[in-house]
Amino acid sequence: MTVLDWGIIVLYFVFSAAIGLALSRRAGRSISDFFVGGRALPWWLAGTSMVATTFAADTPLAVTEMVTKHGVAGNWLWWNMVMSGILTVFFYARLWRRAGVLTDVEFTELRYGGKPAAILRGFRAAYLAVPINLIIMGWVNLAMMEIISTTLHVSKVWALVVCFVLAAAYSAVAGLWGVVVTDFFQFGLAMAGAIILAIFAVHAVGGISGMETGLQGVYGSTHAALAIFPARGAVWMPAITMAVYLGVNWWASWYPGSEPGGGGYIAQRIFSARSERDGVLATLWFNIANYTIRSWPWILTALATTILYPHAVNPRQSYIRAVMDLLPAGLTGLVIAGFAAAYMSTISTQLNWGASYLVNDLYARFWKPDADQRSLVRVSRWATILLMLASLGVTFMLTSISGAWKFLLALGAGTGLVLILRWYWWRINAWSEISAMIASLVVSVVLWFGVGLNPDDPTQWAWIMLATVAASTVVWVSVTFLTRAESDEVLRKFYLKVRPGGRGWSAVSAGLGLGGEPMDGGPLNWTNWVAGVTCVYSSLFGVGQIIFGATGRGVLLLAVALACFVWISRNLRPSRESLGPIPGVRS
């Protein structure tokens, strides 16, 4: 580290702080401004903010570990979520934006009514804001501490505090606008750092041809390292596990940032978009950038580190070692600033997102429902600061509660289907969601601790997932028909607000004099979903083919991706937003 490197890092922090201060006035008018930016974000800003949030400091380290252990195919552990992301684009982005809520938890009392809806809203708000959110921030903090201790040789605790306090400061002062604008700048910086490091790493092993030669010694063959799909009979990815990832996991399992039907901070960015079309385009851009643009710089560096550091005990640290060993003065500081940017973009979102639940869904809903907007903004800022302090405490406890993450996720292991169908089937009620959550938790715990199945074993994980999804589905469907449907008033109000259409709402739409109103977007939604999934995978694999010399195959795949994109652009029908009010019906 030279004076130039330190200067670049300091300049980054100053610039981030300046953005937060410049946007502070926008956040002070209402909690709508503070948490959803006054619903005025253009698609490119909202979408880039989604990508920046998923680009945490630990993400390239995690990809390095996957690639070191399993080759390029190891990325299917996160590539499988493409189907879920594209489903959100065409079936849920418009509906989320149209719902007009401030958080995805508030949606509970739009879709359902009575005490069950209030209980569900309060529980999910507390569950997401505190245990889930704090554990996410704790893991991200640990990764940043690992990076700081390896690169800067300063107290990792104090360095972490500096990054965290700054991220919390502009989150508390400037609200969502401060978060998304710094996200845009931070994503560009983090990606630039990842690309620069990939270029130097590939050069250090003799270019692409030298890399292919070196990989033979590490993996046994170049094909084993670069194959897109896992080898038949691979211990880490048996056929049943791959089938569950591609056929079940993406729609059945709730996971922060990849919720079936959207949700969390993805939904928050959709709420913040200035129109339904901006919400759709933001989510589409997020999925393309998340998988196609981000993947290959990390993969190339990871492959190079397996050659450069063949005896590394901790593959995650190989990525950090490459930064310190391969980059010249100035670029080292730039890449480390990129790490800080990736970290701060994730933390700032988690703080703002978590505070939105505490304020909108707990404080304003149950404690001070008559609070004015100025006081709610003030409470929002204090909630952001309190979450920051709590997450720092959790960070230093993670060695003793590391198993809590899997335990908490068990609550959502089989809830995906009810979260998807609640938009398109009138009969689902609050008890459907409550019973799905309870059943998922109970079945998962019984399978882990009673039967003794090990979720770290890929085959046993697949059986846990299949059994949990099957059992929870039987439970929530049974509970749905054994309990009373939501009242006509609740169903009519929801339908008039969101207008989802489709056969699942035909009885309600007929009662409103609309007949059998078709699903918003119609059957073309399904063709758009297939085209979207094909577009992302084709562009992802096409770029990889070109990098490794199969230019003809790569160009063909990119041509397929382009054709799919053209198909999508021609089929994006105007939303119901443009249809205006329903004659003779009050919403």
Residue 409's pLDDT is 63
The mean per-residue pLDDT over the stretch 4-31 comes to: 84
What is the four-CA torsion angle of 195, 197, 203, 209, rounded to 10 degrees? -60
Residue 233's pLDDT is 82
Angle subtended by helix axes 3-22 and 156-204, to nearest 10: 120
The mean per-residue pLDDT over the stretch 72-90 comes to: 93
Helix (H) and strand (E) counts in the chain: 30, 0
Range with the poorest average pLDDT among 19-33, 122-136, 499-513: 19-33
Whose tokens are 């619903």? That residue is 39
Do 495 and 586 touch, CB atoms closer than 8 A?
no
Per-residue pLDDT at 583 exceeds 50? no
Mean pLDDT across the chain, nearest whole number? Answer: 89
* Token output for 139: 């893991």
| CA 55 to each of CA 260, 285, 291, 345, 548: distance values in angstroms, whole numbers, following the listed order | 20, 15, 11, 8, 25
What DSSP string runs through 158-180?
HHHHHHHHHHHHHHHHHHHHHHH
pLDDT in tens, 511-554: 888 877 888 877 888 999 999 999 999 999 999 999 999 999 99
Residue 96's pLDDT is 95
Classify residue 220 by burial, with Cβ atoms within 10 Å: 0-12, 13-18, 19+.
exposed
Per-residue pLDDT at 400 exceeds 70? no
Half-sphere exposure of 577 (CA within 13 A, CB side): 18
The mean per-residue pLDDT over the stretch 458-464 comes to: 91
User: For residues 514 and 102, which has the higher predicted lDDT (pLDDT)?
Assistant: 102
Going by C-alpha positions, the residue among 112, 421, 129 that lies closest to residue 252 is 421
Half-sphere exposure of 548 (CA within 13 A, CB side): 21
pTM: 0.92
Range with the poorest average pLDDT among 52-66, 300-314, 325-339, 569-583: 569-583
The mean per-residue pLDDT over the stretch 383-387 comes to: 92
The mean per-residue pLDDT over the stretch 159-167 comes to: 77
Per-residue pLDDT at 30 exceeds 60? yes
- State residue 526 phi and psi, 5-degree precision: -70, -40
Ranges of each domain in the chain: 1-23+44-88+101-237+276-399
Range with the poorest average pLDDT among 27-41, 403-417, 431-445: 403-417
Pick the CATH number of 1-23+44-88+101-237+276-399 from 1.20.1730.10, 2.70.98.60, 3.40.50.300, 3.40.50.1220: 1.20.1730.10
